[in-house]
Amino acid sequence: MKFQMEHGANSVNEKFKVQNLTSLQNSDPESQIPNLEMEQGAGGNTENPEFDFHLNRRQFIKVAGGGIFLFFTIGDLPAFGQQRGERRSLPNDFNAFLRIGENGRVSLYTGKIEMGQGVHTSLGQMLAEELDVPLDSVDMVMGDTELCPWDMGTWGSMSTRFFGPPLRLAGAKARRAMIELASEHLNTSPENLTVEDGVVYEKSNKKNHVSYAELAKGKKIEREPKGQVSLKKPSEFKIIGKSFARRDGEVKVTGKAKYAGDIQIPGMMYAKILRPPAHGAKLLDVDVSEAQKMRGVQVVRDGDFVAVLHRYPDVAATALSKIKAKFDSPKTGVDDKTIFDHLLNEATEGRVTTHGGDLQSGQQGSKTIFDQTYLNDYVAHAPMEPHTATAHIEGNKLTVWASTQNPFGVQGEVAKELGMSSENVRVITPFVGGGFGGKSRNQQASEAARLAKLSGKPVQVAWTREEEFFYDSFRPAAIVKIKSGITENGRMNLWDYHVYYAGERGAEQFYTIPNHRTTSYGGNAHPFATGAWRAPGNNTNTFARESQIDMMAAKAGIDPLEFRLQHLDNEKVKRVLKAAAEQFGWTPAKGPSGRGFGIACGLDAGATVATMAEVAVNKNTGEVQVKRVVCAQDMGLVINPEGATIQVEGCITMGLGYALTEGLHFKDGKILDTNFDTYELPRFSWLPKIETVLIEDKNSDPQGGGEPAIITMGGVIANAIYNAVGVRLFHLPMTPERVLDALKG
């Protein structure tokens, strides 16, 4: 359990400055620990067999050099350790910590990762605010299993939401601890002291002061301040709620930011792995002789796992192309057309998730019944950086640099794959080139580790775009069936909602409908892996719900905004709708008005969102151009308004894809989309005018920001298309072919 930064690993770090680790040293065992307080429970961690954070606090302090350490706990949060069947218990006395170094810099150690969503900045802001230090004195050490406490992974818009409040508390406690230290130093009681920019002052005599750096100098102090501390009031905020440019800017615009594929280790080999042509295919025969003849190529085979290694990735790819392999591919008869029947046939029994009133009387009391099925294709994550990992074994230690959303997941998987104990596996997460949920699966890391072991050399596995499409855990194809009804007066009276394979996120309806029921059906009938995709399931559910509402509004002859407001008690939803309408300049008109205006709203990750869009539909080609999108989002306390706005814009832009073009083509387990030529991502020329309205609630906790706005994109565009040309699309994506088909009737 002893922390050792081995020579090799250390030199790699230095060379690539993978993380901001340079302040960590493994020497300095003689340092004085003048004021060490060991709390009860310290060291008890190691007795918990499921707890595999390598260092308990005493060990950490021993190796981390001087400074002041503050250990804290992310409270008893139900979301942690309960998702995805992960039942690992968190350490019982701390699971995050920060260090105030002798140079006054503050390091926050967290297992979260930065993949573009900006937590690098927003977490730093929360800490800097409560600790009263400048934001640029905070360093983030993220996603390194050796240095950071265990974390379940970075997804579900949870970093700011669940990590934020305890982080602020930790910052406040740390500030309190520094004041206590300073009070000894300045010879006055803590009540007389205040902090500005990392310097503690006596309130009545500003000349009497001491900086955090001076307090930390030559010390190793471990603190967990006792007693109550309170968080700052919103009116006291100096850093929270202010916009800061991203802190990873400079390294990203100069090419210095390192991603997993940029890691190079002396003697490293690049691997290309023989892949089946289709999911479910079996390898019958393989001939590697031609590849073997190539100079510098090493062929590795372990059962059906066949790979070629070379010191250049492109030469490895050439070698791979020389392998002759025969596969037996299954004929399942399932393709992107038949998939929906297949899924319906295989669905498990439904589970009623909410129920109110009486469906039968709802039906009887309705004048018009709407019975509609909505479909949604499989969607790929397609991050610009494909899954990549570099693995390096030294003695009995394995280091893996992985593009991953859950480094601790990689640690466990890789350890299992190699039959090692996970404490001998260190996973380092460099910058991640996009994840969107897809990098919570880490097959590439196991492959790299396996090959490093088989070949005895450091190995990098960087998937090609084709492999990335093949092994993606797609957002599941899904079906929603809704039967709804309105009374003679245009009141919604019936809502019978059945969702297949999209899950329950966003399935609960928030309109006031007296007779309603929501039923969810699942099953494991997908022909390949599926998983969470930015706001999983909610995209499908919001598309279906908001289309259905719109349809009823049109039938009732009521403006779709007005119709929604008439059926809402939820103040937050009403507020975002009104805010969006105001910004958009919405004027009431019943649909279809020909204006091409659409509306959709929904709830996700604790946030409330309403979106309005204007589209133009080319009736000859079926092409849809989204001209303008206004999105109003209530996300509680906003840490970094600019960062939050950027996330909303990202959602809107990315959402154009699943709304208009992104749908996976496949047949019999073969993925027919292998690159961006047939699987089209949103482009610059699709970019609408985007306007974001953030509705802040300073007194509530921050809510998710990286996902909510995307949920409305399918619905708002579908409704805008209807509004423009009077036809409805019930199948996402709304490709030109599907639009033309709908126009033909």
- Residues 333-352, one symbol each (x = binds another protein by CB under 8 A, - = not), give --------------------
Instruction: Tell me the C-alpha distance between 400 and 425, whole Å.
Output: 8
Provide the CB-side half-sphere exposure for 158 (13 A, CA).
Answer: 18
Measured from the CB atom, the residue of 98 and 462 that comes closer to another protein is: 462
**Per-residue three-class SS string for 519-561:** EEECCCCCCCCECCCCCCCHHHHHHHHHHHHHHHHHHHCCCHH
Strands 67-72 and 96-100, bridge-based pairing? antiparallel
Closest CA to 429 of 405, 453, 461, 455: 405
Interface positions, 118-147, toward another protein (CB under 8 A): 118
Provide the CB-side half-sphere exposure for 411 (13 A, CA).
Answer: 28
Residue 434: CB minimum distance to ligand FES, A: 5
Binding of another protein by 470 (CB under 8 A): no
Which of these ranges, 67-75, 391-399, 428-436, 500-508, lies near another protein under the rule CB under 8 A? 428-436
Residue count at the site for another protein (CB under 8 A)? 59
Residue 536: contacted member of another protein, ligand FES, none (CB under 5 to 8 Å, by partner type): none
- The pair of three-digit structure tokens given for residue 376, joined into one six-digit string: 């949604």
Instruction: Tell me the C-alpha distance between 29 and 63, whole Å.
Output: 7
- The pair of three-digit structure tokens given for residue 113, joined into one six-digit string: 């990762």
Binding of another protein by 562 (CB under 8 A): no
Measured from the CB atom, the residue of 30 and 677 that comes closer to another protein is: 677
Using CB under 8 A, pick the residue from 72, 436, 500, 528 that binds another protein.
436
List residues bridging with 625 in a β-sheet: 616
Which of these ranges, 78-86, 593-601, 616-624, 676-684, lies near another protein under the rule CB under 8 A? 676-684
List residues bridging with 462 in a β-sheet: 388
Strands 138-142 and 193-196, bridge-based pairing? unpaired
Which of these ranges, 91-99, 319-327, 347-355, 678-686, lies near another protein under the rule CB under 8 A? 678-686
Binding of another protein by 373 (CB under 8 A): no
Q: In the bound complex, which residue of the shown chain has the CB atom lying closest to ligand FES?
A: 384
Distance of CA 81 to the CA centre of its chain: 16
Residue 641: CB minimum distance to another protein, A: 12
Residue 414: contacted member of ligand FES, another protein, none (CB under 5 to 8 Å, by partner type): none
Interface positions, 147-166, toward ligand FES (CB under 6 A): none
Measured from the CB atom, the residue of 312 and 360 that comes closer to another protein is: 312
Binding of ligand FES by 434 (CB under 6 A): yes
Measured from the CB atom, the residue of 116 and 714 that comes closer to ligand FES is: 116
Residue labelled with tokens 């004048």 = 367
Give the torsion through C-alpha atoms of 655, 658, 662, 664, to 10 deg: 140
Are 688 and 682 in contact by the 8 Å Cβ rule? The answer is no
Helix (H) or strand (E) holding 202, with range, is: strand 199-202
Binding of another protein by 464 (CB under 8 A): yes
Measured from the CB atom, the residue of 107 and 403 that comes closer to another protein is: 403
Measured from the CB atom, the residue of 326 and 683 that comes closer to another protein is: 683
Binding of ligand FES by 435 (CB under 6 A): no
Measured from the CB atom, the residue of 680 and 697 that comes closer to ligand FES is: 680
Are 476 and 527 in contact by the 8 Å Cβ rule? The answer is no
Secondary structure of residue 515 in the 3-state scheme: coil
Using CB under 6 A, pick the residue from 101, 116, 124, 733 that binds ligand FES.
116
Residue 406: CB minimum distance to another protein, A: 16
Interface positions, 306-325, toward another protein (CB under 8 A): 311-315
Residue 576: CB minimum distance to another protein, A: 20
Measured from the CB atom, the residue of 418 and 462 that comes closer to another protein is: 462
Using CB under 8 A, pick the residue from 386, 537, 596, 733 that binds another protein.
386
Residue 593: CB minimum distance to another protein, A: 27
Binding of ligand FES by 190 (CB under 6 A): no
Are 414 and 445 in contact by the 8 Å Cβ rule? The answer is yes
Measured from the CB atom, the residue of 38 and 384 that comes closer to ligand FES is: 384
Residue 1: contacted member of another protein, ligand FES, none (CB under 5 to 8 Å, by partner type): none
Q: What burial class does residue 712 get, using C-beta atoms within 10 Å of its C-beta: 0-12 exposed, 13-18 middle, 19+ buried? A: buried
Instruction: Tell me the C-alpha distance between 353 and 520, whole Å.
Output: 7
Binding of another protein by 1 (CB under 8 A): no
Binding of ligand FES by 384 (CB under 6 A): yes
Residue 117: CB minimum distance to ligand FES, A: 10
Binding of another protein by 623 (CB under 8 A): no
Instruction: Tell me the C-alpha distance between 389 and 413, whole Å.
Output: 13
Q: What burial class does residue 736 get, using C-beta atoms within 10 Å of its C-beta: 0-12 exposed, 13-18 middle, 19+ buried? A: middle
Strands 597-604 and 607-617, bridge-based pairing? antiparallel
Instruction: Tell me the C-alpha distance between 474 and 481, whole Å.
Output: 22
Q: What number of residues does the chain have?
A: 745
Residue type, 414: V
Are 572 and 474 in contact by the 8 Å Cβ rule? The answer is no
Helix (H) or strand (E) holding 141, with range, is: strand 138-142
Measured from the CB atom, the residue of 384 and 672 that comes closer to ligand FES is: 384
Instruction: Tell me the C-alpha distance between 645 and 627, whole Å.
Output: 19
Binding of another protein by 672 (CB under 8 A): no
Cα angle 381, 382, 385 (rounded to 5 degrees) comes to 125
Measured from the CB atom, the residue of 116 and 171 that comes closer to ligand FES is: 116
DSSP 39: P
**Per-residue three-class SS string for 496-515:** EEEEECCCCCCCCCCECCCC
Using CB under 8 A, pick the residue from 62, 88, 232, 258 that binds another protein.
258
Binding of another protein by 164 (CB under 8 A): no
Residue 124: CB minimum distance to ligand FES, A: 19
Binding of ligand FES by 313 (CB under 6 A): no
> 492 — phi, psi (to 5°)?
-70, 135
Using CB under 8 A, pick the residue from 14, 35, 44, 245 that binds another protein.
245
Are 242 and 640 in contact by the 8 Å Cβ rule? The answer is yes
Residue 12: CB minimum distance to another protein, A: 13
Binding of another protein by 254 (CB under 8 A): yes
- Residues 627-646, one symbol each (x = binds another protein by CB under 8 A, - = not), give ---------------xx--x
Using CB under 8 A, pick the residue from 274, 690, 717, 721 that binds another protein.
690
Residue labelled with tokens 């439904």 = 350
Secondary structure of residue 153 in the 3-state scheme: coil
Residue 445: CB minimum distance to another protein, A: 18
Instruction: Tell me the C-alpha distance between 591 and 218, whole Å.
Output: 72
Residue 151: CB minimum distance to ligand FES, A: 22
Closest CA to 109 of 119, 96, 120: 96
Count other C-beta atoms under 10 Å from residue 264's C-beta. Answer: 15
Measured from the CB atom, the residue of 654 and 660 that comes closer to another protein is: 654
Residue 322: contacted member of another protein, ligand FES, none (CB under 5 to 8 Å, by partner type): none
Using CB under 8 A, pick the residue from 172, 652, 659, 718 that binds another protein.
652
Distance of CA 591 to the CA centre of its chain: 36
Binding of ligand FES by 649 (CB under 6 A): no
Give the residues lining the site for ligand FES (CB under 6 A): 116, 384, 434
Give the residues lining the site for another protein (CB under 8 A): 115-118, 245-246, 248-259, 261-262, 264, 270, 311-315, 382-386, 431-434, 436, 462, 464-465, 642-643, 646, 649-654, 675-677, 681-685, 687, 690
